[in-house]
Amino acid sequence: MSDLEKIDVARYRTEITDDIDHLVKKYCRILGWEIPEVDDREARKLILQALKDALTQFESGK
């Protein structure tokens, strides 16, 4: 990756982080609707793991 590409990706790092935060909050809300007594901390862990799994699949081309 060229220096220019690294700089370009670095510019979007904050946006990517914000998007991930939005996704976690979105799915926490959805889980809260479906399971009102959901443990928020546990739900967050499960959602983060699902995102990690999805990234792994995406990287492997599946």
Give the tens place of pLDDT for each residue, 2-61: 776 777 778 888 899 999 999 999 999 998 888 888 888 999 999 999 999 999 999 998
1 confidence band (pLDDT: 50, 70, 90):
low
What gap in Å lies between CA 16 and CA 33, rounded to an integer?
26
Helices and strands: H and E segment counts in the chain: 2, 0
Domain ranges in the chain?
20-62
pTM score, two decimals? 0.73
Across the chain, the runs of DSSP E, i.e. the strands, are none
Q: Identify the pLDDT of residue 26.
A: 94
Model pLDDT, residue 49: 96
Locus of tokens 């479906």: 34
In this prediction, residue 12 carries a pLDDT of 87
The one-letter amino acid at 25 = K
